[in-house]
Amino acid sequence: MIPQITPERLDGPSGQLLVALVQQEYVRRYGGPDATPMGADDVVPPRGMFLVAYLGTRPVGCGGVRAG
């Protein structure tokens, strides 16, 4: 199955779920959460973008970029 990638808000349900999971992984691997978390308004056009990957209806990945 090919993932479908869609732009969404970081503070939407899928974004919140996936970011919480990655923060848990950072704690497990590095002993603490990300020191430079992104806010939802940091990753909206034209300053940035947040994308969510879905397999069917299940969110399976995300990524965001923000202007420096």
Chain segment 15-25, per-residue pLDDT in tens: 999 999 999 99
pLDDT 10s digits, 24-55? 999 999 999 998 878 999 999 999 999 999 99
Which range of residues forms the domain containing residue 15? 4-66
* pLDDT interval class at 68 (50, 70, 90): confident
User: How far is 3 from 57, CA to CA, in rounded Å?
Assistant: 10
Q: How many domains are there within the chain? A: 1
Q: What is the pLDDT of residue 33?
A: 93
Q: Which residues contact 14 (CB under 8 A, 6 or more apart)?
A: 8, 52, 54, 59, 62
> What is the number of other CB atoms lying within 10 angstroms of the CB of residue 59?
19
- The whole-model pTM stands at 0.88
